Amino acid sequence: MARWTTTDIPEQTGRTVLVTGANSGLGLQSAQVLAARGARVLMACRNAEKGREAQRLVAAHAIAEPELVELDLADLGSVQRAAEDIRKRTGDELDVLMNNAGVMAPPRGSTEDGFELQIGTNHLAHAALTWQLMPALRARPGARVVTLSSIAHRGGSLDIDDLNFQRRRYSPSRGYSQSKLANLLFAFELDRRARRAGLDLRSIAAHPGMSGSELALNSLRARSLPDALTSIARPFNDLITQSVAQGALPQLFAATDPAATSGSYYGPDGFAEIRGYPTRAKTTSTAQDTRLAERLWTATEQLTGVDADPR
């Protein structure tokens, strides 16, 4: 495809978009761009203070006033409350769900529900949110679910019987790769099930390459490393990554462009998909394993206690 940029985004007036993790990085950039193109943007954020500051930034160039939604993906109770709030606010009509938020390679931790932090936040909570918002997505012709994965999925494997690393040795990078592989498996399985159910819904995955967001730096902060080391890491991070604005292009393409097809995966077109403009991205054979995806779908339903939709 040609070098796609935000100038190629069609008019978004009349569309309602929910972006998780909209207070910083790729989520904030996506919210700003979509609001400036006319979309009604719901900004799902965990931290209220940071959310309000991000809301002001988005509102500065928005056509429709952006709205804050309280959402803590490390708490399934919060996910349920957010889904109920969103359905009520939107009159059960949602055009785009952008599953953007995530944590990257923190020390071992757990969600409020006892899940390993990365699989719980990055996959299980987003799956639960997606399923609980399906009535609102079903109501809008051509609705889209955009799920953010990563080139790190290539280093991941998935043990359905040990998603929480209760038997396997945990490492932060291994946990992150597993969660990003789960994101891809979920996105592809949602596409297959939606098509079998005859739904007018696109499930699309995307990744930002290596983007200069706060994700990697937050990982360092979570390890309680000295401030001096974090200060050194920032310019290095800036050197090897592309801008957040560039990194957000694949997910914006997936959310808005008529040519973005369901069941596809988009990322940067440059060397090793590290930087560049949106194009079809490569996946591992594991990410395309339909049997594994079905097992993950079932396990996710059992772990979250949320009814899968479509079943």
Rounded to whole angstroms, how far apart are CA atoms 189 and 262? 11
Q: Residues 6 or more apart from 13 whose CB is under 8 A from it? A: 37, 38, 39, 63, 64
* 289 φ/ψ angles, rounded to the nearest 5 degrees: -75, 105
Task: Please say whether the beta carbons of 292 and 283 come within 8 A.
Answer: no
- Active-site residue, selected from the candidate residues 176, 265, 266, 277: 176
- The structure tokens 């056509």 sit at 63
Rounded to whole angstroms, how far apart are CA atoms 290 and 296? 10
Rounded to whole angstroms, how far apart are CA atoms 311 and 308? 5
Beta-carbon count within 10 A of 76 CB: 22
Question: Is 265 marked active-site?
Answer: no
Q: How many helices (H) and strands (E) does the chain have?
A: 12, 8
Rounded to whole angstroms, how far apart are CA atoms 277 and 269? 5
- Residues noted as catalytic: 176
